[in-house]
Amino acid sequence: MIRLMMRAEMALLLTAGLLVTAACDGSGGAAVSQPSNQVSATTQHGPPPLGWYANVAYFTQWGSHSRNFEVRDVEASGAAAKLTHINYAFGNIGSDGRCLAGGHGEDGDAWTDYQRRFTADESVDGVADALDQPLAGNFNQLRKLKQRHRGLKVLLSLGGWAWSKYFSNAAATAASRQAFAASCLDLFIGGNLPISGEPQGGPGSAAGVFDGIDIDWEWPGSEGNQGNVIRAADKQNFTLLLAELRRQLDAYGSALGRQFQLTAFLPADPDKITAGVEVDRALGLLDFATVQGYDFHGPWENRTNHHSQLRSPPADPAPGRLSVETAVDAYLHAGAPARKLVVGVPAYGKGWRGVPGTDRGLYQPSAGPAPGTWEAGSEDYKALVKRPGMRFRDTTNGAVWLHDGDQWWSYDDPPLLIQKVAWIRSNGLGGAMMWSLDGDTADAALTTALHDALAG
């Protein structure tokens, strides 16, 4: 059985032309050479087989230290047995366009990712970590989770809202795309983590944890978080970045006799799709794409509205009329294979305060964001399900909301998820994705609803 790849073995793949060719530039780094062949952006990866549905959920790195939600809880809740994929959020990209690991701040959180030693009570399998074992932290707990659930795949998700700043730099040129992909594979697929302040890390220390890469660039060619780098060529460069990742993942997997997956999180707003996604070409390179199905509206607006509606009701006053149906239709009309589209659903709600009772609080003015456990205007499903107040349901358009006379919350519950999955199945789509596991209940009510409806 092929064991972990060391850095030297990685270099052999690089110099063989399977990834990129690198030479020392005299500064302690690597100068990436031009490729011998142009990267093809037309390599096609077919849709998932009929009858198979993805049930994807994100595990947030920060949840394990700021929200008291560990990898162990994914097992204890029963969620792990009901998922096809866990996306670990997030890995960061440096200003030089390369993947980062280790350290703190911009680099991430090495302690949480792979250095923290878990006690027996904290661990997935009840076994305490040793002080000097090569891999600890969440990465080792995910490895243990996979050992218990052999069909479960874990992908390293890159970017997200806070860490998409330098995606445009990574995608800008052939050389930057090669360096980006090689750095990501080196760290997270080859598992060659840096040693920094603790004994964990080293060549091959995290090999086998991740089964692929998920790209969460928010957003190519249009505004995301303040300060993100945006280029006019982002749309085309996004495709080329996916193509380079696809090429290197396929080459690396071929050398190991296995396959690695490539997925991406894509926007719901048709304007952002047009600005940043070459839909037919990009989807041809991905195993599947998860489409944003939430944050259509929120308390950054002064009027209440559904944040994750399946369809936009006729009375919806918002420009753009965002909905799951609108987003999916935009991708289908642009040439996306239906089976490659996985619909995102939220394990949290968006809330407003100072909302009058007119029309059950829907489309009403507000006084601002409602208080939330972690941030104003946002609350986990596990908290919302316990809140007092009147609940209302639009079964025609697929929306649920809660109004207690002052606060107004839009969220998804198990019956709504079942309705969404019925729509997913009837339209031949590829499954569902949930953000994020720490918002679900202790018995994984949302994950279970998705699993059972997809399996049904």
Q: Is 158 helix (H, G, I), strand (E, B) or coil?
A: strand
Per-position DSSP letters for 109-122, written without gaps between them: -HIIIIIPPPPTTT
The catalytic residue among 70, 75, 218, 278 is: 218
Question: To 10 degrees, the CA torsion angle through 250, 253, 257, 259?
Answer: -70
Per-position DSSP letters for 240-278, written without gaps between them: HHHHHHHHHHHHHHHHHTS--EEEEEE-SSHHHHHHH--
Q: Shortest CA distance to 261 belongs to which of 46, 68, 32?
A: 46
Place of tokens 């969460």: 216
Neighbours of 119 (CB within 10 A): 10
* 426 contact partners, CB below 8 Å, separation of at least 6: none
64 in Cβ contact with 58 (< 8 Å): no
Where in 362-430 does DSSP place strands (E)?
A: 368-369, 378-380, 390-394, 399-403, 408-411
Q: Shortest CA distance to 268 belongs to which of 221, 237, 308?
A: 308
Place of tokens 């002064």: 302
Tokens of 287: 């195993």
CA distance linking residue 234 with residue 172, whole number of Å: 7
299 in Cβ contact with 371 (< 8 Å): no
Is 70 one of the annotated active-site residues of the chain?
no
CA distance linking residue 219 with residue 216, whole number of Å: 8
Judging by DSSP bridges, how do beta strands 85-93 and 408-411 pair with one another?
Answer: unpaired
Active site residues: 218
